[in-house]
């Protein structure tokens, strides 16, 4: 049985004061009780990791980061290593978000190295894949996502089972245009079938979450799909109450 996982991605948002309010609201409500068998996380900007780790303590909400270096240590100015994240109490880390692929030229190969670094330090990599609007409109969505997934399989092999894959159609990120639940399910199914070509066990156990304009009012329908194991939530995760509503969906 795969656990439903809901992870917020604050992106480059937050402030010391607003983080405190958000954390207090979410932690207090989670203490009242959340649906059983689910995992919850929030990926915050690097400078807030220590502060947020302090707030989260032993709460049900786990700490995440939004990127990690492909290298263990050394002359990589501006980078943050997986061992540093581990020391901060981080449990999840996003790798290969489309904003990083498109704006910082991240390629499948370095994304797989980042995922390896994360796994070596007991962090769960959330590997993002997804197609652009042009790729979908020209009928190439599955082909594009297959290529992204294949590259991760070839590096990570059966360690993939300890990762999460986030299917995030780029045209749905931050646009308010959510993929229909059936459209998302179809891609999640295609990814699972692709993984089954490699290893049945990986295919049936890996969590595949959906990302792209998820809100409280569309989460229930998405989560009801058999191959959708939760969500990576960007904009809506900035609002504590909306994030909690998605966690309960």
Provide the binding-site residues for ligand PEP, judged by CB under 6 A.
9, 11, 168, 173-174, 211-214, 232-236
Report in angstroms how near the CB of residue 87 gets to ligand PEP at its nearest.
Answer: 25
Which conformational region is residue 203 in: left (phi greater than 0), alpha (psi within -120 to 50 degrees), or beta?
alpha
- Mutual orientation of helices 141-156 and 181-198 as an angle, nearest 10°? 40
Report in angstroms how near the CB of residue 214 gets to ligand PEP at its nearest.
Answer: 5
Residue 8 to residues 133, 230, 242, Cα–Cα distance (Å): 24, 11, 11
The catalytically annotated residue of 99, 131, 168, 242 is 168
- Exposed/middle/buried for 206, CB within 10 Å: 0-12, 13-18, 19+? buried
Residues 6+ apart with CB under 8 A from 158: 199, 201, 202
242 flagged as catalytic = no
Report in angstroms how near the CB of residue 49 gets to ligand PEP at its nearest.
Answer: 18
Query: What's the token pair of residue 192?
Result: 């699972």
Q: In terms of CB distance, is 125 or 235 closer to ligand PEP? A: 235
Report in angstroms how near the CB of residue 209 gets to ligand PEP at its nearest.
Answer: 10
Q: In terms of CB distance, is 67 or 202 closer to ligand PEP? A: 67
User: Phi and psi (nearest 5°) for 159?
Assistant: -70, -15
The catalytically annotated residue of 97, 106, 121, 188 is 97
168 flagged as catalytic = yes
Q: In terms of CB distance, is 102 or 107 closer to ligand PEP? A: 102
Q: In terms of CB distance, is 70 or 219 closer to ligand PEP? A: 219
Enumerate the active-site residues: 97, 168
């Amino acid at each position: 049985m795969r656990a439903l996982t809901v992870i917020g991605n604050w992106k480059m948002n937050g402030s010391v004061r607003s983080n405190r309010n958000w954390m207090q609201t979410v932690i207090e409500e989670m203490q009242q009780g959340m649906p059983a068998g689910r995992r919850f996380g929030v990926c915050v900007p690097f400078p807030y990791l220590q502060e947020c780790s302090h707030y989260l303590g032993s709460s049900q909400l786990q700490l995440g980061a939004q990127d990690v270096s492909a290298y263990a240590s050394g002359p990589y100015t501006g980078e943050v290593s997986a061992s540093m994240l581990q020391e901060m109490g981080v449990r999840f880390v996003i790798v290969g978000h489309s904003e990083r692929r498109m704006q910082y030229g991240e390629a499948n190969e370095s994304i797989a190295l980042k995922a390896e670094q994360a796994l070596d330090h007991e962090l769960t990599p959330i590997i993002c894949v997804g197609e652009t609007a042009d790729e979908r409109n020209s009928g190439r969505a599955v082909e594009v996502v297959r290529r992204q997934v294949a590259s991760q399989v070839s590096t990570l092999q059966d360690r993939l089972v300890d990762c999460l894959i986030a299917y995030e159609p780029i045209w749905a990120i931050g646009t308010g245009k959510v993929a229909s639940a059936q459209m998302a399910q179809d891609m999640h199914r295609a990814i699972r079938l692709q993984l089954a070509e490699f290893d049945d066990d990986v295919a049936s156990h890996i969590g595949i979450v959906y990302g792209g304009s998820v809100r409280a009012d569309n989460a229930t329908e998405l989560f009801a799909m058999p191959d959708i194991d939760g969500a990576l939530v960007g904009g809506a995760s900035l609002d504590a109450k909306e994030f909690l509503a998605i966690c309960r969906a």
